[in-house]
Amino acid sequence: MKTDETVRKAVFPAAGLGTRFLPATKASPKEMLPLVDKPLIQYGVEEALSSGIEEIVVITGRGKRAIEDHFDVSFELEHELRQKRKFKLLAEVERISGMVDFSYIRQRNALGLGHAILCAERAVNGDPFAVILSDDIIDSKVPATRQMMKVFKKYKDPVIAICEVDEASVSSYGIIDGVEVEEGVYQIRDLVEKPAPGAAPSNLAIIGRYILTPDIFDALRRTKPGKGGEIQLTDGLRDLMASRPLYAFKFKGTRYDAGDKLGFLKATVEYALRDKELGPAFREYLRGLKK
């Protein structure tokens, strides 16, 4: 293993079918659903950048071209905005395309999150890397990925984000069993993908932020299809746990499951209320509804 624990790359799996959000996601990527005025994936990308990530690898699939276009230069649009002297919008549009280095890898078949990560092996090139699932929107003072990097720097082993969920929803997540080694940091004893209620080892659920090391790739290659017939990252991590410690970290912040209709609505309402321009009028509107 290399001794450099600086995490410079982030992998964004984005080839999933978005079945929880059909029919909206039939022809449009779920990563492009707008939370107020930015697509979900942009929140993740901004979190990565403010955490010090320099290179973003997006794992895409069929029907996901809009993601590439979003982070690319748009000559016609920029020209139009310049002509119409809409400089504020122009600056925003230019900011997006100039953000960071992107590369795109096509996952030809949606064979699961573990398989998506395996597609990034060459791009990751032997370095530790972050994984960001753009469904999970995290609002926090210190970006969640940066919090995770700090834990990784200390322990030098893979770190998985977790948060407490209620018993009824354990079967929607990967669940860990662990021993707390310092406040908020657990050494993982076991992890299981979407256990049946009653069979979960705890209520500590895996959230879509990971700092991984390149030995995850061999583990994923050994991983057989699990829940839903898919190659699960959780199962790959379970395999990796036989050869090195894994840690789970209870990040500080609020997480929204924006891949789920209700979670998406909650995030929309809260982000809109916080928006400087929209917030006051939106609050008034909601007050009016209560009557």
Residues that bind ligand G1P (CB under 6 A): 113, 133, 135-136, 173-174, 193, 205-208, 232-234
Question: To which H or E segment does residue 271 belong?
Answer: helix 261-274
Longest dimension (CA), the chain: 62
Q: How far is the CB of 282 from ligand G1P (least distance, A)?
A: 27
- By the 8 A CB rule, do 152 and 224 touch? no
Residue whose CB is nearest to ligand G1P in the complex, by number: 174
| CB atoms near residue 211 (< 10 Å) | 26
Residue closer to ligand G1P by CB (options 138, 272) is 138
| Selection from 213, 214, 203 nearest residue 250 by Cα | 203
Residue closer to ligand G1P by CB (options 213, 232) is 232
Cα–Cα distance between 11 and 14 in angstroms, integer? 9
Helix, strand, coil distribution of the chain in percent, nearest 5 = 40, 25, 35
Q: How far is the CB of 199 from ligand G1P (least distance, A)?
A: 15
| Selection from 137, 128, 130 nearest residue 40 by Cα | 137
Residue closer to ligand G1P by CB (options 61, 208) is 208
Token pair recorded at residue 131: 């994984």
Q: How far is the CB of 221 from ligand G1P (least distance, A)?
A: 18
Dihedral angle of Cα 92, 94, 99, 100, to the nearest 10 degrees: 160
Residue closer to ligand G1P by CB (options 21, 155) is 21
Cα–Cα distance between 174 and 154 in angstroms, integer? 24
The one-letter amino acid code at 230 reads: E
Q: How far is the CB of 136 from ligand G1P (least distance, A)?
A: 5
Residue closer to ligand G1P by CB (options 15, 81) is 15
Residue closer to ligand G1P by CB (options 58, 113) is 113
Residue closer to ligand G1P by CB (options 90, 234) is 234
Residue closer to ligand G1P by CB (options 14, 36) is 14
Which stretches does DSSP call E strand in the chain?
9-13, 34-35, 38-39, 55-60, 101-106, 129-132, 136-139, 159-164, 174-182, 185-193, 204-212, 247-250, 254-257
